[in-house]
Structure 1
Amino acid sequence: MSQHHTPQHLRERTDRSHLRADAGDAAGAMSHRQIMEALSGLLLAMFVAMLSSTVVTNALPRIVADLEGSQTGYTWVVVATLLAMTATTPVWGKLADLFSKKLLVQTALVVYTVGSVLASVSHSMGMLIGARLVQGLGVGGLTALVQVVIATMVPPRERGRYSGYIGAVFALATVSGPLIGGVIVDSSFGWRGCFYVGLPFAVLAFVLLQKTLHLPVVTRPAKVDVLGATLIMAGVSILLIWVSLAGNQFAWASATTAALVVAGLLVLALAVWVETRAVEPIIPLHLFRDRTIALATTASVFVGVAMFGATVYLSQYFQTARGMTPTHAGLMSIAMVGGLLVSSIGTGRIITATGRWKRFLVGGMVLVVVGLGLLGTIDETTNLAVVGAFMAVLGIGLGATMQNLVLAVQNNVPVSELGAASSVVAFFRSLGGSIGVAVLGALLSNRVATRAADGLTAIGVTPDSHQSHEIPDLATLPAPVRGVFEAAFGQSFGELFLVAAPFALVALVCVSLIREVPLRTTNDLVEVADELLADAAPEATAELTATIPSR
């Protein structure tokens, strides 16, 4: 059929299909070096995202004490970022299916930068929490989009190799973040300097992405479900506010509790109703008909509880229960992150070589359960070498689990839903982290307050109910009072990890039930071309096939 006799709309589709197919061929021919060049900016962007949370971890006790905050405030400085990241991760993933992925990553970097500047000039806990919310919007984009772009460029069989690089970057940020943050807090810059340290990396990542990331823009008309995302975030926020304030601002069994719980559940029910009717839902509910996706997302919730709970509260343990400086507390984190580094890189390479991934998911979750159980035995007197060994066990388990859950899901969905499916896993992991941090923080606040009040009474000091909920600056306390608070914190942290262990056990059951599907060896950009070819009119197929270079 000549082009002269081909209808206009068919010629346009034919031209687009040519372009997509050629782009698919080019992508399929990318060498390891070309992929690594494109990944340079992406990995740096991922480093910025991870650094935003880890660099401030060791600074939080000092920040909260300086701004005269409470344990609840401590919790919400973390939860605000996680909530914003959780709610917007599916939005970013959906946008990645519609618009330029490169532009979206750069936009996320700009949003993160604005949030960091606002956090650095905060003069109250409320302002800091708001700034961390803005940071979370950017971090949500970075964490979701890096996974999506890598999945676009690299076939699943090879993806384990590059997931290992993500794990290495994650480990580097997790190792260096607390150390850098601790040093900055103990220096003349103070805690405000922690929010500036990521800015040079964000600028460099922006420039690198502009130079090295070149992907074809595959767009289609669609709507972003803003209402669904808003309702999900609102419903989860209401329930987390209830969890974090109950027992302190109001009683667990009270009218306020009833109102918050009912309101939260109603908003979430409305969110589900909206999602079932949305043209482009933030969380495509039909994805959960797939057994692998349903089990992987459920496991992600409980992995989030373990991962975020451990990283957030271990740092506080070392400073409040062991009296360490932020720098010293940062050095202690190396035990867990060293295990995570070795595990994530090692399992990624083995999966690329063998194509088998389930054994690492199951083995990793077993170690997570064991690690949390062991950490459940610590208190303010536990030998630090023993604590470090327990942390290493947990780190090895997390390293083998986190990226491979995403890989299992990506391998099971068509390319048209790759962004949405990848972001759904990240969404539920962050949701689990938000819930875990809030619930564990509420438990910690109540247990420390009770133990501190009892301890102060025992040494003849009249306890102040408000003071017992605050995070004190241990260096300024008299020795007997300091000992009371260290004991109260030390004994309470063990309970946190014991509470987190059953959640990890549920995740272990979920990953054990996932059916292992062999990893695909085709590139997703090539699949884009194949899908567009399949959509072309039958009478144009022969002409298209004849003009596309052979692979």
Structure 2
Amino acid sequence: MATTTPPGVRGGGQSETTSDGAPMTHAQIMKALSGLMLGMFVAILSSTIVSNALPKIISDLGGTQSSYTWVVTAALLSMTAATPLWGKLSDLFSKKLLVQISLVIYVLGSVVAGLSQNTGMLIACRVVQGIGVGGLSALAQIVMAAMISPRERGRYSGYLGAVFAVGTVGGPLLGGVITDTSWLGWRWCFYVGVPFAVIALIVLQRTLHLPVVRREVKVDWLGATLISGAVSLLLIWVTQAGTSYDWISWQTWAMTGGAVVLGLLFVLVESRASDPIIPLRLFRNKTISLAAAASLFVGIAMFSGTVFFSQYFQLARGESPTMSGILTIPMIGGLFVSSTVSGQIITKTGKWKAWLVSGGVLLTAGLGLLGTLRYDTAYWHIAIFMALTGLGLGMMMQNLVLATQNQVAPEDLGSASSVVTFFRSLGGAVGVSALGAVMANRVTHYVKDGLAELGPKAAAMGHGGTGGGGIPDLDKLPAPFRTVVESAYGHGVGDVFLYAAPFALLALVLVVFIKEVALKSRPAAHTPAAEGSTAVPAQSQAGAGTAAAEAAARQ
């Protein structure tokens, strides 16, 4: 039975009120969320800082195009598998503690990644990083939902989107500068975030105070293992098919069949678990089902852009890592503007569906136009296409989570939020793997065609590292052959975006069928606690019967 709560605290949870009963001001809420946003910034910065350094990293470590893809996919895979678990843990333990733990895990993975001696070691460290990012990604949305009503949350989700945009644009720029600086080198891309992470931990300790829900803990470890295995088999198949074995082969049937069997077992286990990692009953809600499916396709579009642009600018246009980061600013600028503006307007109007539909249209158009990329495409064309893509992503990413959170009871908030994040990460992981395999195949094809046009003597020069899966060093290639390789990468990246565009269209179709429900005006934590649970204020050890929001406001 829910416990009685002290005056000023509605339903035993966080309240948007200060100690004198007045609503928390915007400044007070921002102060309470400052550590959370700083932690998110560190994770995003540390993730994106590697993007422009990857061609150099893979070249130095003797990796291949498959290694390049797996350095990205490994983090996405572990993030995907860990996200539902973090969401479930947030329904059982202190959200603040979990945020801090996930940040520490990410930092440890980053430090060891900087010591990598080969691509295998780097990929293993990326798995650890992904576990931490899964926690930060899921918990950021969950903490905000616990503090802020859906009606007001659009505004603060916009700020979170802005932090995402700044970290996304700042990371590649900083990574490019570090990589281009001889006395630093790419390893410092992994070290540079550590001081910021320490600051984030200190700020989180001082500013974030939430109620702790205490109830009998039973984590569905079997379900977590099964879903991890299913996703892993699927990604390994997508990455290796067409290179290590044929698309139609016994390996394909074994891996896809194994993934299906593990997926069915996961559904069976979840349907019988007393405390499932992903409550299947959530999918009875049409909005949650459609938002989850749309997030899957948005993830494919989002990660394809961030991963393959660095290869395009460096290998198709011969730009430095630093310039590669600068040239992607239009996409990040679009994401920054749309996420911030849409959040502000949603808070004022309470209407969110139009933003989802508009975002789907812009994302589909942007990716379709990016499908026309070639190595000599005018940059102002590329800038417009990137801006459209960024605008679409900014309108869809945060608002799909918002639509889902508006539909669930407080006790399911963590699980529901992590479901959307899970499917977005899954889409990104599968998309990067599949599109990376497509790109490797198409680049090899275009190189061979280009060499054939140069004549038998050019064909005898070999693939230049491309056909064999390596990342070429353009500066070491003779002029005619360099043009062939640049053209191949330009056309190959264009094909990647062309293949991604239909998935954005599918996301658009799905959000059209989502029914708009008026945003609630009360935070999730204002609703009475679930039967048998007890909301314990974070400050209870001091004997204070004060709401967590009041504590945050006083800091």
TM-score (norm 2): 0.91
Structure 1 residues 349 and 16: alpha-carbon distance in aligned structure 2, compared to 1, 3 A threshold: closer
Runs of 4 or more consecutive aligned structure 1 residues displaced over 3 Å after TM superposition: 13-29, 456-459, 464-467, 531-536
Residue of structure 2 equivalent to 1:519:
519
The answer on whether the counterparts of 1:375 and 1:387 sit within 8 Å (CA) in structure 2 is yes
1:40 aligns with 2:34: yes
Residue of structure 1 equivalent to 2:265:
270
CA drift of 1:31 comes to: 2.6
What are the Cα deviations for residues 160-188 of structure 1, in whole angstroms up to 9, with x where unaligned?
Answer: 11011001101100111110010011012
Residue of structure 2 equivalent to 1:488:
488
Residue of structure 2 equivalent to 1:376:
371
C-alpha distance in 2 between matches for 1:314 and 1:425: 25
Which of 80, 98, 112 is 1:104 aligned to? 98
SS at match of 1:218: strand
SS at match of 1:57: coil
Which of 179, 182, 187 is 1:185 aligned to? 179
The answer on whether the counterparts of 1:410 and 1:422 sit within 8 Å (CA) in structure 2 is yes
* Structure 2 unaligned regions, length at least 5: 18-22, 536-546, 548-555
C-alpha distance in 2 between matches for 1:476 and 1:206: 45
The answer on whether the counterparts of 1:168 and 1:345 sit within 8 Å (CA) in structure 2 is yes
C-alpha distance in 2 between matches for 1:21 and 1:363: 37
What are the Cα deviations for residues 166-212 of structure 1, in whole angstroms up to 9, with x where unaligned?
Answer: 01101100111110010011012111111112111111110000000
- Equivalent residue letter for 1:223: K
Structure 1 residues 449 and 217: alpha-carbon distance in aligned structure 2, compared to 1, 3 A threshold: same
- Equivalent residue letter for 2:53: A
SS at match of 2:213: coil
CA drift of 1:254 comes to: 1.9
Q: Give matches, 1:319-338, under 5 Å.
A: 319-338=314-333
CA drift of 1:532 comes to: 6.3
1:507 aligns with 2:503: no
C-alpha distance in 1 between matches for 2:466 and 2:28: 57
What are the Cα deviations for residues 238-289 of structure 1, in whole angstroms up to 9, with x where unaligned?
Answer: 1111111111111222222222222222222222222112221111111000
- Equivalent residue letter for 2:485: F
- Equivalent residue letter for 2:480: P
Which of 125, 138, 144 is 2:132 aligned to? 138
Residue of structure 2 equivalent to 1:64:
58
- Equivalent residue letter for 2:229: A
SS at match of 2:47: helix
Structure 1 residues 308 and 535: alpha-carbon distance in aligned structure 2, compared to 1, 3 A threshold: closer
CA drift of 1:313 comes to: 0.7
CA drift of 1:80 comes to: 0.4
The answer on whether the counterparts of 1:155 and 1:520 sit within 8 Å (CA) in structure 2 is yes
The answer on whether the counterparts of 1:97 and 1:219 sit within 8 Å (CA) in structure 2 is no
Q: Give matches, 1:237-276, under 5 Å.
A: 237-276=232-271
The answer on whether the counterparts of 2:146 and 2:523 sit within 8 Å (CA) in structure 1 is yes
C-alpha distance in 1 between matches for 2:185 and 2:388: 33
Residue of structure 1 equivalent to 2:550:
none
CA drift of 1:480 comes to: 2.2
C-alpha distance in 2 between matches for 1:475 and 1:137: 37
CA drift of 1:86 comes to: 0.6
The answer on whether the counterparts of 2:300 and 2:432 sit within 8 Å (CA) in structure 1 is yes
Which of 146, 156, 162 is 2:150 aligned to? 156
- Equivalent residue letter for 1:373: G
- Equivalent residue letter for 2:32: A
CA drift of 1:22 comes to: 7.6
The answer on whether the counterparts of 2:104 and 2:132 sit within 8 Å (CA) in structure 1 is yes
Moved more, 223-232 or 69-78: 223-232
1:87 aligns with 2:73: no
- Equivalent residue letter for 2:322: T
1:223 aligns with 2:223: no
Which of 197, 201, 220 is 1:202 aligned to? 197
CA drift of 1:125 comes to: 0.6
TM-score (norm 1): 0.92
The answer on whether the counterparts of 2:443 and 2:489 sit within 8 Å (CA) in structure 1 is yes
C-alpha distance in 2 between matches for 1:355 and 1:466: 54
SS at match of 2:78: helix
- Equivalent residue letter for 1:293: I
Structure 1 residues 26 and 242: alpha-carbon distance in aligned structure 2, compared to 1, 3 A threshold: closer
Residue of structure 2 equivalent to 1:437:
432
The answer on whether the counterparts of 2:465 and 2:471 sit within 8 Å (CA) in structure 1 is no
Structure 1 residues 378 and 444: alpha-carbon distance in aligned structure 2, compared to 1, 3 A threshold: same
Structure 1 residues 14 and 419: alpha-carbon distance in aligned structure 2, compared to 1, 3 A threshold: closer
Which of 221, 230, 233 is 2:228 aligned to? 233
The answer on whether the counterparts of 1:112 and 1:139 sit within 8 Å (CA) in structure 2 is yes
Structure 1 residues 534 and 130: alpha-carbon distance in aligned structure 2, compared to 1, 3 A threshold: closer
C-alpha distance in 2 between matches for 1:26 and 1:497: 45
The answer on whether the counterparts of 1:27 and 1:525 sit within 8 Å (CA) in structure 2 is no
CA drift of 1:453 comes to: 2.7
Moved more, 454-463 or 468-477: 454-463
The answer on whether the counterparts of 1:367 and 1:393 sit within 8 Å (CA) in structure 2 is yes
Residue of structure 2 equivalent to 1:540:
none
C-alpha distance in 1 between matches for 2:304 and 2:389: 12
Residue of structure 1 equivalent to 2:24:
30
CA drift of 1:24 comes to: 3.7
CA drift of 1:223 comes to: 1.2
- Equivalent residue letter for 1:396: L
Which of 281, 291, 307 is 2:302 aligned to? 307
SS at match of 1:191: coil
- Equivalent residue letter for 2:391: I
- Equivalent residue letter for 2:434: V
C-alpha distance in 2 between matches for 1:276 and 1:266: 15
CA drift of 1:17 comes to: 8.0
Structure 1 residues 36 and 23: alpha-carbon distance in aligned structure 2, compared to 1, 3 A threshold: farther
- Equivalent residue letter for 2:490: G
SS at match of 2:212: coil
Moved more, 153-162 or 267-276: 267-276
C-alpha distance in 1 between matches for 2:466 and 2:484: 13
1:350 aligns with 2:345: yes
Moved more, 405-414 or 481-490: 481-490
What are the Cα deviations for residues 303-338 of structure 1, in whole angstroms up to 9, with x where unaligned?
Answer: 000000111111211111111100000001101011
What are the Cα deviations for residues 349-385 of structure 1, in whole angstroms up to 9, with x where unaligned?
Answer: 0000000000000001100000011101111110011
CA drift of 1:528 comes to: 3.6
CA drift of 1:400 comes to: 0.8
C-alpha distance in 2 between matches for 1:27 and 1:221: 28
What are the Cα deviations for residues 210-249 of structure 1, in whole angstroms up to 9, with x where unaligned?
Answer: 0001111112113111221121121111111111111111
- Equivalent residue letter for 2:212: V
Which of 158, 163, 167 is 1:173 aligned to? 167
Which of 388, 392, 397 is 2:387 aligned to? 392
SS at match of 1:223: coil
CA drift of 1:413 comes to: 0.4
* Structure 1 unaligned regions, length at least 5: 1-9, 537-547
- Equivalent residue letter for 1:436: G
C-alpha distance in 1 between matches for 2:464 and 2:360: 40
The answer on whether the counterparts of 1:340 and 1:398 sit within 8 Å (CA) in structure 2 is yes
The answer on whether the counterparts of 1:321 and 1:487 sit within 8 Å (CA) in structure 2 is yes
The answer on whether the counterparts of 2:11 and 2:528 sit within 8 Å (CA) in structure 1 is no
C-alpha distance in 1 between matches for 2:95 and 2:174: 31
Structure 1 residues 302 and 25: alpha-carbon distance in aligned structure 2, compared to 1, 3 A threshold: closer
